[in-house]
Amino acid sequence: MAESEVEVAQIRQLLRRAKPPADPLLLDQLLVTMLKLGPEVAELIPEVVIAINRGYEFSSSALVPVVAKHKSEVMLGAVLNKYGPKYLDISSKCQLFSAGFGQFQPDLLDYLRVSYDQDTDHLRSMIVVALGNSGTASVLQDLQDIRGLTSHRLSELESEDTQLSGMDQEIRSLHARCRRAFLRRLDEVVEIVKSRAECEPTSGD
């Protein structure tokens, strides 16, 4: 028995013999081990689905990377059915969308539309990167609008009265730096999505 086969067998037996509520740390460690295995781990996916349906409480931080890596619609369906849509936060949805689960594009766009102007929200950049990875042509208008609005607000920041107190000046500079970095990322992603859209078949093809 090869080493990888031994690990698969061990994980399978641990999943089968554990009873809810199983130790969450143990469950998460099993998923971390699965991420390190090769194609043979595919035979464990049905075992994880059974465990989810039995009521095992896997953390999203451990489970979502496994779903994303193996692009398992069956596993994702079990997650949503058992844990509900609130189990997946924006970060999880970004991972899944980047892996090809296109159903999360509307959720990511909805969040971006209300957060693009929040310089302290790191999730806006995470969403833009995910849209660059898997976004369809339909996101272009939103991205271009947000790019234009971000550029306009950056210009306003840079033209504001420079006779500010030290702390206010530092805060303004920080916002400007964050906005420039976000604008650069938007520029890159708009071009990526445009290029991908040009390769997408039209409805008449």
Q: What is the pLDDT of residue 199?
A: 82
The token pair at 24 is 């969450």
Please, what sign has the CA dihedral across residues 154, 159, 160, 163? Answer: positive
CA atoms of 55 and 61, how far apart (whole Å): 17
Given a cut of 50, is residue 203 above it in pLDDT? yes
Arithmetic mean of pLDDT, 154-162: 77
Q: What is the pLDDT of residue 205?
A: 46
Arithmetic mean of pLDDT, 66-90: 95
Q: Give the Å distances, CA to CA, from 14 to 58, 67, 80, 188.
A: 14, 19, 23, 45
Given a cut of 50, is residue 145 above it in pLDDT? yes
pTM: 0.88
Give yes or no for a contact between 96 and 126, defined as CB atoms under 8 angstroms apart: no
154-170 CB burial, b ≥16 within 10 A, e <16? beebeeeeeeeeeeeee
What is the per-residue pLDDT across 35-61, written as a single tens digit (0 to 9) for each? Answer: 988 888 889 999 999 999 988 889 999
Please, what sign has the CA dihedral across residues 159, 161, 164, 168? Answer: negative
Q: How many CB atoms lie within 10 A of CB 195?
A: 9
